[in-house]
Amino acid sequence: MNLNLLATTSIEFPNLHISLNNLPKSFSLFGVDIAFYGVIIAFGMLAGIALVCYDAKSSGQDYNLYIDFAMYAIIFSVIGARLYYVVFSWDYYSAHPLEIINIREGGLAIYGGVIAGVITCIVYTKIKKISFFKVADSAVLGLIIGQIIGRWGNFFNREAFGQVATSKNPFMMRIFFDDNYSINQVPDAVRIGMENLKGMDLSEIGYIQVQPTFLYESVWNLMVLILMLIFRKKKKFDGEVFLWYLFGYGIGRFVIEGFRTDQLIMPVTGWPVSQALSLVLAVVAAVVVVVKRVKISRQEKMA
């Protein structure tokens, strides 16, 4: 086997005493360049399928239905995630149309994947004549574990980080410049923030010091998943676990998105599209859960 690690970058978490020297972004296997981003996304998908199948089997459902659904959901979710990213980055892709199909460098927006996945689930359950909401309650467990793992693809790609972090931030991340990560890739907001913080030109500093928002989101999603697993047997109606996901992920993403420097912006309004969507979904999910639970509670008392 011919395995060669390609261009590397050093990354440090000084306050956590973690130093990762010469961290590769990709590797070459038998002459084929393979990005860690893609490997991690694929691993997240497999882990998600495994968890969904386990949940389906333990709840008396046919897990083969979920394996079948996953094949369609993965394909259309990747397409949806890419389209969402391209649409809200159209200024760039309209000038570089051939880059639209290049996902090796990242450029997948999770909400596009979620929207496409939900549509796929609606169509699939209608064809199979099974409950969309029951399937969604199990499928969403695989979705969020895929997000937990998939965010680490952003780490290897040196993307989806936040604003400049001060030395007091315990999770402060430093990304050093070399052949794999250059000054030209640094967002203007981070460049200005670093130069103001250090009082010198960025080329003299040699690194950026930012908030690891990919880490924030991965940890937040892990907590949401744990709560979903603990309380899923206490749900009052089919679709409630799915709504918990929309609320939990929405709240976390709304806050974390505010720290990011690579936001996708809605035309005219100038609002970060994922932040606005997160707030809407979280509010709607919370209202629906409360209304449904109150209604069910009243019915139980009258019975």
Residues within the annotated binding site?
151
Distance CA 138, CA 211 (A): 33
Residue 133: how many CA atoms within 13 Å on its side-chain side?
9
Residue 127: how many CA atoms within 13 Å on its side-chain side?
10
Distance CA 147, CA 136 (A): 16
Instruction: State the angle between helix axes of 132-157 and 63-87 in degrees (0 to 180), rounded to the nearest 10.
Output: 50
Distance CA 8, CA 178 (A): 8
Q: Which two tokens stand for residue 79?
A: 């397409």
Q: What is the DSSP letter of 99?
A: G
Distance CA 290, CA 209 (A): 42
Q: What is the DSSP letter of 6?
A: -
Instruction: State the angle between helix axes of 240-257 and 273-302 in degrees (0 to 180), rounded to the nearest 10.
Output: 150
Distance CA 120, CA 239 (A): 16
